[in-house]
Amino acid sequence: MHPLIEDYALIGDLQTAALVCRDGSIDWLCLPRFDSGACFAALLGSRDNGHWQLAPTSLIARPERSYRGDSLVLDTVWQTPTGTVKVTDFMPQRDRAPEIVRIAEGISGSVEMRGVLRLRFDYGRVVPWMRHSKGCRVAVAGPDSVWLRTPPQVTTYGKDFSTRSDFTLTEGERAAFVLTWHPSHKPRPPATDPFEALDCTLDDWREWSARCRYDGPHRGAVIRSLITLKALTYAPTGGIVAAPTTSLPEELGGVRNWDYRYCWLRDASLTLNSLLSAGYLEEAGAWRDWLLRAVAGAPDDLQIMYGLSGERRLPEAELPWLSGYADSVPVRIGNAAVDQRQLDVYGEVLDSFHIARTAGLPSEPHAWNIQRSLVNYLESTWRDPDEGLWEIRGPRRHFVHSKVMAWVAADRAVRALEAYPKARGDIDRWRTMRDDIHREVCERGYDAARGTFTQSYGSTDLDAATLVIPRVGFLPGDDPRVVSTVDTVRRELSHDGLVRRYSTEGGSIDGLPGGEGTFLVCSFWLADALHLTGRPKEARALFKRLLALRNDVGLLSEEYDPAARRQLGNFPQAFSHIGLVGTALALFGDAEAD
């Protein structure tokens, strides 16, 4: 039996991340980057596929865990029949080799502890060669080597192709373990002082969190989501991954399992907006620079996603040796959606540049040339069908949300020229394009008989993405078409008050069998839409309900199953935490909570 997705907590170093289970087992870790092969892949198979457990031998009581203040340092406390122990897990923000530090500390009494390290490179497939070297255990396989440094009082031994340790902690005693990845062809990495690293890591996160300028209600939830978004940032380039995991299912036992360890323009653009709103100009600037590098080139080559450094080729493959989370197969790496056409990304990119200008982010000389070329290209392509933001693996359609975001692209370009009339661009032509898109969407994308915008032209299906219409300014919140769309989506796509992306019955829309849970960011969009249509109390009530869906350390996955009352999909999910931050700022700001 796999643990629940919400049983995991996140630690990371701004280049990769690990998932730590309640029972003290690290079940997912890719080294040295988010998109590298996993050396712990128990999350998607069994513990024979790699994990690292450090916990009391007597796991009777459910542990209590929390992040230490506004940081990504995780404390897990176990109360056993003989005493209490705490394990602190973190990854120092690196300037050299990636490391995981685990510090076990006796709080009271005497507690017997056990460590089990089972390294399996290449997503749980390759058993490394193990050896001793100057007090360390060293695992080597191909290009990878991992060094385990243990405290002097702890003896390690091999058993069942794993490295084990048994030791006892009494009150005040500490035992620190350091796991370091290093290229196998290079000499031994320098030793890290684990306790000094803990102090530095706490200082780094506290300093960063203190820069948040939001001081309204639910600040703790906002800060935790911002820390999560920061943790999903690849610091060397400024790229932001959608999630640190692959193939956590949208339906248990189903095939809707995708690799999210890449940088979607849409997700990253919305993350930029959240960071700017909270006062993080430096991070926003780093992402803007990543974006300029990634999209450089012909506008018709714009992709919906890129690798961490802007890589364009992300071939999709299946890993048949992994049984999948809760037997959900296939397990995929790479993502074939990279080749899809999604017109909405032009709107998200242009809107991000617009928000960056409004926030006072210093402009880059060539940034406007790129924006201008994107708008000019969109002028000749916005009438084409596409796969839409939900990455439909079926026939292309004229998705209403895609057209609305094409309108956003034209609108933001017009606004830029209105604010900076000396900039190059044909404002009259762009205004005409903006008006044409608006007219067509209102004529072909709105079902007057039902009183709702539909998922695509000529369709009767609904799409939760139409909830963003008032937020992006396509129509005002008090427009009757907006109000009726919000009500219709809420009535027909909700499950126990939470919102699905669209109906998956029959698989006719997305070309895939099975279904999925409610999509958390769509429920945040509903809260935004309720607020914009003059129903703030309902919006705040929904927001507080969504807060209650977070796990015990404040994390959200992609989806939620109201029937089974559990999280689904890749975890933690940037999109969900973007929704939380954006909705909190929209509904509360610095106002008093109801």
pLDDT tens-digit series, residues 480-534: 999 999 999 999 999 999 999 988 765 557 667 778 889 999 999 999 999 999 9
**Nearest to residue 277, comparing CAs of 234, 242, 225?**
225
Count of all residues that appear for the chain in the document: 594
Place of tokens 């706490």: 202
Q: Is the pLDDT of residue 92 over 60?
A: yes
Give the per-residue pLDDT at 508.
57
pLDDT tens-digit series, residues 382-396: 999 999 999 887 889
pLDDT tens-digit series, residues 26-71: 999 999 999 999 999 999 999 999 999 999 998 666 799 999 999 9
pTM of the predicted model, to two decimals? Answer: 0.95
Q: Is the pLDDT of residue 593 over 60?
A: no
**265 confidence band (pLDDT: 50, 70, 90):** confident
Q: How far is CA 277 from CA 139, 143, 544, in A?
A: 44, 42, 20
Domains belonging to the chain, first-starting first, are 54-208 (no CATH), 211-589 (1.50.10.10)
Give the per-residue pLDDT at 506.
55
Sign of CA dihedral 365, 367, 368, 374: positive
CA pair distance 442, 448, nearest whole angstrom: 10
Q: Is the pLDDT of residue 592 over 50?
A: no
Q: How far is CA 227 from CA 8, 102, 472, in A?
A: 16, 20, 26
Q: Is the pLDDT of residue 8 over 70?
A: yes
The DSSP-derived string for 420-486 is -TTSSS-HHHHHHHHHHHHHHHHHHSEETTTTEE-SBTT-----GGGGGTTTTTSS-TT-HHHHHHH
Which phi and psi angles does 575 have, rounded to 5°?
-55, -45
Give the per-residue pLDDT at 514.
78
Sign of CA dihedral 396, 402, 406, 407: positive
Average pLDDT taken over every residue of the chain: 93
CA pair distance 576, 558, nearest whole angstrom: 6
CA pair distance 89, 99, nearest whole angstrom: 11
Share of the chain above pLDDT 70, in %: 98
pLDDT tens-digit series, residues 308-365: 998 999 999 999 999 999 999 999 999 999 989 999 999 998 998 898 888 888 877 7
Give the per-residue pLDDT at 507.
53
- Residues with Cβ within 8 Å of 537's Cβ and at least 6 positions away in sequence, in order, are 594
Place of tokens 């080799």: 97
pLDDT tens-digit series, residues 190-231: 889 999 999 999 999 999 999 999 998 999 999 999 999 999
Give the per-residue pLDDT at 134.
77
Give the per-residue pLDDT at 115.
96
